[in-house]
Amino acid sequence: MVHTYVAPDVPAEQITPAFVRDELLKCFESANGEFARMLHQQVTDEQLRQQVKAFVEGVFSQCGVSYVSPTKEGIVTAISECKKNAEKMMGPQGADVINHHYAEMMKLVEKL
């Protein structure tokens, strides 16, 4: 069962671009799990994890930023693109979920 994502409260010196990228995967799993419930879709945690990883890697690639060696700027670009894609896919019914998850990710990005 997926829970609503909350950014971990860790000291800024422990936050690296790779840490934020990995948290983005967790965040997206949470948001997509909530979307699946809204749309009454059945999805296993493993299916969700695989779909999210492929999607996030694809977004990094589309944005021309490195998934393997992310930078703060690359992560900001990818998160913005993810947000736009989610808004298109979910429309107004997904706005609260999208805005919550975006705000949680930006807490981490701001510490980079």
- CB neighbour burial string for 101-110, b if at least 16 within 10 angstroms, e if fewer: bbebbeebbe
8 Å CB contact between 27 and 42? no
Q: Max Cα separation, the chain?
A: 40
The domains of the chain are located at 12-111
pLDDT level of residue 43 (50, 70, 90 thresholds): confident
Are the CB atoms for 87 and 98 separated by under 8 Å? Answer: yes
Reduced to 3 states (helix: H, G, I; strand: E, B; else coil), residue 57 is helix
Mean of all residue pLDDT scores within the chain: 92
SS3 label, residue 6 = coil
Q: What is the pLDDT of residues 79-93, one digit of tens each?
A: 999 999 999 989 999
pLDDT per residue as tens digits for the range 22-41? 999 999 999 999 999 888 99
